[in-house]
Chains A and B, each alone.
Chain A
Amino acid sequence: MTDLDAQVRALRTSVGLNRREHVAVVRVDGPDAFALLDLTSPAPLLLREGQMRHTLLLNTEACPLADLYVCSDEDGYVVLADGLSEAALVAQLEGRRAARLPAAQVAIHPQSETHELIGLDGPYAWELVSAWLGPSVLGMPYLTLLRVDDVLAFRAGKTGEFGYDFLVPRGRGALERLTALGAAFDLMPVDLPALDVCALENGHFSIRTVRDSALARPLTPLELQLQWRVAYQRDFVGAEALRARRAAGAAVRATWFTSAVTLAPGQDLTLDGDTCGQVLACTTSPTLGGAVGIALLSTRLAHPGLALVAPTDAGPVTLATRTAPLIRNRSLFVDPHRHSYRTRETETYPSLVLA
């Protein structure tokens, strides 16, 4: 088992710990904080205190720059951005303010100097979190945040398992405390590639899929099946371009697939000998034992249930388009009211692999 295999296995069956250094965190407050973030987010931000909205940061061409959570805290907002550095996130927000709300009274506070973001993911992440912060976190609904002492806990996650992020003050020993408590859960440090494998297995969007794409085609929420993060009638940066793209119709759509071997991004895909799309992303799936990926297919063919062929230099490779998620998440069967990691061997869980 490779290191990556072990990390994915931990994310799927116990708990993985990740230092979310790929996520920029800023606080936004002031009388016009809502106005600025409302202009930034393609999704409506009617949030009660303690709620989060999963949205996107788009450029003027409606292409994603970052995977965004906007979180309503008691004193303002916390923005978590996967895909941008802290400086780049601040620049984006300041740029939007200068261009559209020059008189706005808004303060943007980068967090990295005083805080760090730590993540826990896995079917027993809730139990470790409860051991660390107390039972109040057990009742957190998905996409909510809760302050426990000096820790700000966010319930989110992009692996399909229980997932939490924690904004903790630096130098207070949070990581050490979690590591010590995590021994009882076989807690494993996991890297970003492992999280991205799990995201792909579960049909979750990763900003690195488009940022690292070998394809020259610009992709918007329309092609990426992310329209649920957008409200077309809203005014936001990129709205005009997105509405124009929608009016023209999407020529391609992201569609998940499985194959026996990993395919390179940009690899052509054919159906009955005719080119019908290209690979957008593909990776080995330790869970499934083969490869999982996303193809950009002609919209007419962008459906599960098709057998395509990738004419690679090593020979033709067959792949099957599938309905995401591609695995059966253990977290769907783990009940915080009844189950525990220490008694997991006494439980019978269905296979992670869908029939």
Chain B
Amino acid sequence: MAEIVRLAGYAAAVWLFLTGLYGVVTSRHLVHMCLSLTVVQSSTYVLLTVIGYRLALPAPVFTDHVQPASATVDPVVQALMLTDIVVEATVVALLLAITVRIHRKSGTADPHEVDLMRG
């Protein structure tokens, strides 16, 4: 059972990464490209969460019912995932700001038309 959950998680991570990558490569609108990048980043969230998961164990919150030093789901990967989300938010905010400025300056948001760097 745990293996199925794990395999499903890995498959989801791989699918998200490849789909997002396809979106970035073939995108014709910069906002779509930024959001495809978000999808790529989401694959790492899924991967991290699945790595930390332990079947039938509680969340790592120690209360009266869950004693400290008893077995729980891995808390480190959850912290990594949250840091990952913060990093992603920063990068996507920066990219969207750049997109808005590009649209304002050149009237288009199509990456194939913003073509100043050939060669």
| Chains A and B come from one and the same complex | no
Residues of B within 8 A of A (CB): none
A residues near B (Cβ < 8 Å) are none
